[in-house]
Amino acid sequence: MRSYVYHIILCLFGCLLSGCETGKRPRYVAGDDTLTSGTIHVSIDESFRPVMDSQIQVFMSLYPEARIVPHYKPEAECLKDLVNDSTRLVIITRGLSESEEAFYEDTLQFRPRFGSIARDAIAVIVNHKSRDSLFSVSDIRSMLNGSSGSRYQQVMDGTVATSTVRYLLDSVLRGQPFGSSVVAARTSEGVIEYVSNHADAIGYIGVEWIGNPEDTAQLSFQQKVRIAALQCANCEEEVYVRPYQANIALGRYPLTRELYYVLKENFSGLGRGFVNFLKHEKGQLIFKRAYLVPEWKSLQVRRVNLKESS
């Protein structure tokens, strides 16, 4: 009996030394999924629906026992999902800040992993009847903050919480608020439809919605609107460029951003398996075919003596 009591005391003492606390969430434990089987829910920035639909389709065709359930929503909502037990992986346009890492470590008892997997661009689209299709970043900034006196309405996928909105506020307006000419569509497709029906509208969407000439759906979008050219950010001459792959890769197109994964797994589960797929050859080739710039696979860019026309 004495030895039994002594054993219980040792166990309790060991628990205290290992950091057991009342009300503290346990470390995330492995489920019944593996790197290539099981089911996970993934929250994905709505801007990347076309390319991520392709990634998921190919991954599940390669691994029939795996099921990835995507939830497309604004970027801020994706980050909120990280604290939900049902969501282990989010795909967004930024990594975690130090304060966010500390918050998730306190909540989950480990830090989520994150990293860049591709680069894309914000495409500026105009109506086919628009007389203007060449803009500088300063033109865009003055139209967005309302200081230009422009007649154009500025259309994007929401006015709060989306990655496109955050990018324009942070990187173009640099903290200034939107002007009164900014209006919201519900989705990226909604932005395209609005611009196609309003000659005085300028829209902002991820290039993966409209930049792939091999995608029949995107070709139909290109018949509805035009992709504007922006003043080159890295050219000796004053030249205007569109968000083509080479211009994104060489830093010529000024409105570019990165695509990140944030993974809430500390075991070899399906989330890690899908991230590995995105980072390696097949996933990177899908990004390349979608006219994004792969982050983990070299993209060959050949220079030619050819100027882009308007």
Q: What are the distances in angstroms from CA 271 to CA 57, 88, 102, 262, 292?
A: 15, 7, 21, 10, 22
- 211: pLDDT strictly greater than 80: no
Within a domain: residue 21?
A: no
Owning domain of residue 267: 30-119+257-294
Specify the pLDDT at position 24. Answer: 53
Please give the average per-residue pLDDT across 116-138, as a whole number. Answer: 94
In a domain, 303, yes or no: no
Q: How confident is the model at residue 30 (pLDDT cuts 50, 70, 90)?
A: low
* 70 lies in the same domain as 127: no
Which amino acid is present at 294? P
Place of tokens 């029906």: 197
Residue 171, token pair as written in the block: 């990187």
pLDDT at 4: 45
- Position 255 scores a pLDDT of 96
The least confident of 143-152, 185-194, 222-231, 294-303 is 294-303
pLDDT score of 131 more than 60: yes
Considering the domain architecture, whether residues 148 and 108 belong to the same structural domain is answered as no
231 has a pLDDT exceeding 80: yes
Q: Which of 6, 103, 88 lies closest to 41, judged by CA? A: 88
Assess whether 114 and 126 both reside in one domain. Answer: no
Strands (DSSP E) found in the chain: 38-45, 66-73, 87-92, 113-127, 134-135, 153-156, 182-184, 201-206, 225-227, 229-231, 240-241, 256-263, 293-294
Tally of domains within the chain: 2
Q: Among 39-53, 147-161, 169-183, where is mean pLDDT lowest?
A: 147-161
Q: Are residues 228 and 147 in the same domain?
A: yes
State the average pLDDT over residues 24-45. Answer: 79
Q: Provide the b/e sequence for 290-301 (b: ≥16 CB within 10 Å).
A: bbbbbbebebee
Q: Is residue 141 part of a domain?
A: yes
Distance of CA 45 to the CA centre of its chain: 5
Say whether both 152 and 193 belong to one domain. Answer: yes
* Judgement on whether residues 127 and 249 belong to the same structural domain of the protein: yes
pLDDT reported for residue 6: 43
Distance CA(157)–CA(113), nearest Å, equals 28
CA dihedral for 287, 97, 184, 232, sign (positive or negative): negative
Q: How far is CA 149 from the centre of its chain?
A: 32
In a domain, 177, yes or no: yes
Task: Answer yes or no: do 88 and 135 share one domain.
Answer: no
CATH number of the domain where residue 173 is located: 3.40.190.10
Residues 285 and 225 both lie in one domain: no
